[in-house]
Structure 1
Amino acid sequence: MSAAAAAGTWRLGDLEVNRIGYGAMRLTGNGMMGNSGGGPVDRAAAVRLLHSAFGQGVDHVDTAAFYFSPLRSANEIINRALSTWTEHVVVVTKVGPGRTPCGEWQTMARPDQLRGQVEENLRQLGRDCLDVVNLRRNGPGTDSIAEHFGALAELREAGLVRHLGLSNVRPEHVAEARTIAPVVCVQNAYGLDWRDADGSGLVDLCREQGIAFVPFFAVSGLQREAAAAREQDARVLTVARAHGATAAQVRLAWTLHRGPHVLAIPGTTNPAHLAENVAAGALRLSEDELGLLDRPTDAAATG
């Protein structure tokens, strides 16, 4: 059994994947909203990193056409890595927001512009059909996503997309989308320090409906796109010491314990951190440890 298989599997439609995946944003050297994630990653090193992930059982990758910096494109690196990898890897991308060639962010695309975004992902990834496309809702509010999701459903019917998902949404958006086409995954910010999806009932809703819940920022938490800061939470450090694990592994394990439908897509450009992230799938936390981690942060001393 591969290291990534230790956490079990889940199905994205008809695509079965190990619950530990990989988030490709950091391959570009920049965070999604422009926060620095370090310098540009050498292409050959990035390909080796992805091959290492695949070799450890990571069989799904999260990406987007707007994950690029002046020197690197996540999709281009993934394309290059997969061109010399013989086993199938599920690629999950997203559309909705856009960036100009010089990197400036644009407002949410119109429904009629989504086909162009899907075709750009197809071109960059070198594919004829995208495994999963998430509609990423851009901005606050409870606005309808029916027109946008309907446009993607048409592309699914046309054979350009295999499965559809959602990102940055609330329960009412999931309900609205499911009246149009099946939803195989929901990708929202979620982690030990960021539990809005618990308060809204989104995590439980996804479980009840057989939808994968895929948190981003599970390790970096309130740091968002920036690399995770030095761990300051005494609860996390206590559990990490008990298992001889890293704080990041404990945060990932806590997230995966939230339900068998919860996946993880931690991103890193460090091979050692990659191995640690994958190994977190085998970390089993006791009920007492989960209870400790679930206590409010202000109830624990920081260290």
Structure 2
Amino acid sequence: MTDRRRLGGLEVSAQGLGCMGMSQSYGTADRGEALATLDRALELGITFWDTSDVYGDGHNEELVGEALRGRRDAVQLATKFSLSRNQDRRIDGRPENVRARCEDSLRRLGVDTVDLYYQHRVDPQVPIEDTVGAMAELVQAGKVRYLGLSEASADSVRRAAAVHPITALQSEWSLWTRDLETSGVAAVAREHGIGLVPFSPLGRGFLTGAITSPGDFADDDFRKDHPRFQGEAFAANLRLVDAVRAMAGEKGVTAGQLALAWVLAQGEDVVPIPGTKRVAYLEENAAAGDVELTADDLARLDAIAPPGVAAGGRYPDAGYAYGDSPAR
């Protein structure tokens, strides 16, 4: 996989790698397999790596930093700040927190500069102008090259871009989560030349067809508490997966590859970051870049998975998605 795309001024691989699952949320991870996955990503040309200071309470940044040693220049490195893992999911966008969290991330990663630094969630108690102003100071200091937002509303995107150029907006986007389109957030981002970085482009693994029962989740897998993976919603969403799998079979690809190819087809400014902690899944995802979708294929997928098709909310707390009510 050698295709490249641009997020604002940052050139990255057309597909990135979400590293969260190597440290939390998707059951137990194996350190050796995780490091092997990162090694294989580079071999495949997947050089856009995504982490956060909150993943594994810093463990994920340390793991990625270990994999980066001796080859920092080969990777476009993205990390995030502002979110805590407390039960209340506290968000802190204060300028002094921006600076402190960046220094901590640089230390764990073992680098002098981060290529892309996101505000993980917008703090509704702090004007985004203040937060982005502090992030801009990190650019001026050479600690960060480009700035991004994650799961921000259209209003927050506009206000942030008025303070400093924003390179990327990271939000959930897949065949069963099309809020970026219907909310107008994607359109606003594109008005400002902001690239789109979809996380969970495989519907948290559901669109691969590998999950067939709520019992498939381990006790420490956070998906078991999500509304879309419970009861009647699970059964309804499974019918969507069956339709995607049937179409994938006709094209001679896996359901996950078809779902990922759909995301890649949404524009040259779109760089999905499917997450995995295993080499085999990484290789399967990388091959999605070779799947060609015709206009008829895309129309068929739109009919299979129109906006709003998924049953159940994205998070147990509905306000966690696009939940910012920006302070003025």
Give the TM-score range, shorter chain. Answer: 0.7 to 0.9
Question: How big is the shift at 1:155?
Answer: 1.8
Question: How big is the shift at 1:92?
Answer: 0.6
Question: How big is the shift at 1:120?
Answer: 0.9
1:215-234 mapped onto 2 (5 Å cutoff)? 215-220=198-203, 226=223, 232-233=239-240, 234=242
If the length of structure 1 is used for normalisation, what is the TM-score? 0.84
Question: How big is the shift at 1:85?
Answer: 3.3
Tell me what 1:134 maps to: 118
- Looking at structure 2, the residues matched to 199 and 80 of structure 1 have their Cα atoms a distance apart, in angstroms, of 40
AA partner of residue 145 (structure 1) = I
If the length of structure 2 is used for normalisation, what is the TM-score? 0.78
Tell me what 1:50 maps to: 38
Tell me what 2:30 maps to: 41
Tell me what 2:161 maps to: 178
The one of the two structures with greater contact order (alpha-carbon pairs below 8 A, sep at least 6) is 2
Superposed CA deviations along residues 64-117 of structure 1, whole A, max 9, x for unmatched, are: 011116xx8111111111114375201111111124xxx666511123211111
Say if 2:83 is the partner of 1:97. yes
Say if 2:262 is the partner of 1:278. no
Query: Would you say the 8 A contact 2:8–2:193 is kept in 1?
Result: no
Question: How big is the shift at 1:144?
Answer: 4.0
- Looking at structure 1, the residues matched to 81 and 72 of structure 2 have their Cα atoms a distance apart, in angstroms, of 27
- Looking at structure 2, the residues matched to 208 and 55 of structure 1 have their Cα atoms a distance apart, in angstroms, of 35
Give the structure with the larger helix fraction. 2
- Looking at structure 2, the residues matched to 186 and 297 of structure 1 have their Cα atoms a distance apart, in angstroms, of 23
Give identity over the alignment, percent.
33
Query: Would you say the 8 A contact 2:10–2:146 is kept in 1?
Result: no
- Looking at structure 2, the residues matched to 40 and 286 of structure 1 have their Cα atoms a distance apart, in angstroms, of 37
Change (3 A) 1:293 1:143: farther
Question: How big is the shift at 1:208?
Answer: 3.9
Query: Would you say the 8 A contact 1:63–1:92 is kept in 2?
Result: yes
Superposed CA deviations along residues 7-56 of structure 1, whole A, max 9, x for unmatched, are: x322244431111010000011x22xxxxx121322x3221110101100
- Looking at structure 2, the residues matched to 295 and 265 of structure 1 have their Cα atoms a distance apart, in angstroms, of 24
Say if 2:140 is the partner of 1:157. yes
Question: Aligned residues, how many?
Answer: 282
Question: How big is the shift at 1:149?
Answer: 1.2
Question: How big is the shift at 1:58?
Answer: 0.4
- Looking at structure 1, the residues matched to 49 and 154 of structure 2 have their Cα atoms a distance apart, in angstroms, of 24
1:192-231 mapped onto 2 (5 Å cutoff)? 192-220=175-203, 226=223
- Looking at structure 2, the residues matched to 85 and 130 of structure 1 have their Cα atoms a distance apart, in angstroms, of 14
Tell me what 1:34 maps to: none
Question: How big is the shift at 1:221?
Answer: 5.0
- Segments of structure 2 that go 5 or more residues without pairing to the other structure are 207-220, 310-328
- Looking at structure 2, the residues matched to 270 and 191 of structure 1 have their Cα atoms a distance apart, in angstroms, of 21
AA partner of residue 95 (structure 1) = F
Aligned equivalent of 2:105, options 116, 121, 124: 121
Change (3 A) 1:97 1:21: same
Change (3 A) 1:10 1:194: same
Question: How big is the shift at 1:59?
Answer: 0.9
- Looking at structure 2, the residues matched to 123 and 221 of structure 1 have their Cα atoms a distance apart, in angstroms, of 30
- Looking at structure 2, the residues matched to 39 and 73 of structure 1 have their Cα atoms a distance apart, in angstroms, of 14
Question: How big is the shift at 1:171?
Answer: 1.6
Change (3 A) 1:104 1:41: farther
AA partner of residue 226 (structure 1) = R
- Looking at structure 2, the residues matched to 132 and 86 of structure 1 have their Cα atoms a distance apart, in angstroms, of 14
Query: Would you say the 8 A contact 1:220–1:226 is kept in 2?
Result: no
